[in-house]
């Protein structure tokens, strides 16, 4: 007689067969970890990013696990981003999931932050999220129901979008815009059986974080120690939360911004 737990895990691993997903910024970090988990769960996954070398490395890793396609794209190119979403839906007959994960960040005090840097962060972190969500909702609204939903969108925010931090004004403001846009979009998507949520990562061990740790080890160490769980997150841990939000297991969740940050968003920090 089969072990019930093993059977359940086996079914869970393939619960997205027949579904189609697009992950922006999918060539490394949180995006790659999310794409990998979606492929493992049986989904057909498209990823897009700007760097061709990273895209090809991601293709090699993901294609060994399942169906994947890669696209070189800058999501701040509104027309190209919209066209990609429409093309994926047309070729596969549907688009079930979108993860708006691509990001832009500039570190500088306001006195040195340029308007160009401000606009670059908003172009990727807010404008592109609007463009992608709009295009995906248009496609999803015409689809047949899959379970209780026609589609699910997850936007990747940041703790900086819900808590203030010096020297990150453009990034923080753009991620705050993303959080509230997610809630507003969810109100419109709800009547169409399209769920829209945000995941709010804290410190995550990505290449950017590792570079920060190399150049400012003392500050990086202090930042990590200030997290209630005393460590940064792993991209795979974020992927689990993102894929949960995309899945039918979250069928009654929409309009929320879920912190995945080791307790940072809930913390009242008192210097010792």
Catalytic residue IDs: 171
Write the secondary structure of the chain as one string of H (helix), E (strand) and C (coil).
Answer: CCCHHHHHHHHHHCCCCCCEEEEECCCCHHHHHHHHHHHHCCCEEEEEECCHHHHHHHHHHHHCCCCEEEEECCCCCHHHHHHHHHHHHHHHCCCCEEEECCCCCCCECCCCCCHHHHHHHHHHHHHHHHHHHHHHHHHHCCCCCECCECEEEEEECCHHHCCCCCCEHHHHHHHHHHHHHHHHHHHHHHHHCEEEEEEEECCECCHHHHHHHHHCHHHHHHHHHCCCCCCCECHHHHHHHHHHHHCHHHCCCCCCEEEECCCHHHCCCCCC
Quote the radius of gyration of the chain (alpha carbons, Å).
18
Q: Are strands 68-72 and 257-260 parallel, antiparallel or unpaired?
A: unpaired
Tokens of 196: 């829209």
Nearest to 149 by CA among 4, 82, 247: 247
């Amino acid at each position: 007689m089969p072990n019930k737990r093993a059977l359940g895990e086996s079914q869970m691993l393939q619960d997205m067969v027949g579904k189609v997903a697009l992950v922006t910024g999918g060539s490394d970090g949180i995006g790659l970890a999310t794409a990998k988990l979606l492929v493992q769960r049986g989904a057909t996954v498209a990823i897009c990013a700007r760097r061709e070398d990273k895209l090809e490395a991601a293709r090699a890793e993901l294609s060994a696990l399942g169906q994947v396609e890669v696209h070189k794209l800058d999501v701040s190119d509104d027309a190209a981003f919209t066209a990609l979403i429409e093309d994926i839906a047309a070729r596969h007959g549907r688009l079930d999931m979108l993860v708006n994960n691509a990001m832009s960040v500039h570190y500088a005090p306001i006195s040195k932050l340029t308007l160009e840097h401000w606009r670059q962060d908003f172009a990727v972190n807010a404008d592109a999220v609007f463009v992608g969500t709009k295009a995906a909702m248009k496609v999803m609204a015409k689809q047949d129901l899959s379970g209780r939903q026609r589609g699910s969108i997850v936007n990747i925010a940041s703790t900086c979008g819900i808590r203030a931090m010096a020297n990150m004004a453009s990034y923080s403001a753009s991620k705050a815009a993303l959080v509230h846009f997610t809630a507003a979009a969810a109100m419109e998507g709800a009547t169409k059986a399209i769920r829209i949520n945000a995941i709010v990562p804290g410190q995550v061990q990505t290449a950017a974080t590792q570079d920060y740790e190399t150049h400012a080890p003392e500050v990086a160490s202090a930042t990590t120690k200030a997290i209630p769980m005393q460590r940064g997150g792993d991209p795979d841990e974020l992927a689990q939360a993102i894929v949960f939000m995309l899945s039918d297991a979250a069928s009654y969740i929409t309009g929320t911004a879920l912190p995945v940050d080791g307790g940072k968003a809930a913390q009242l920090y008192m210097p010792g």
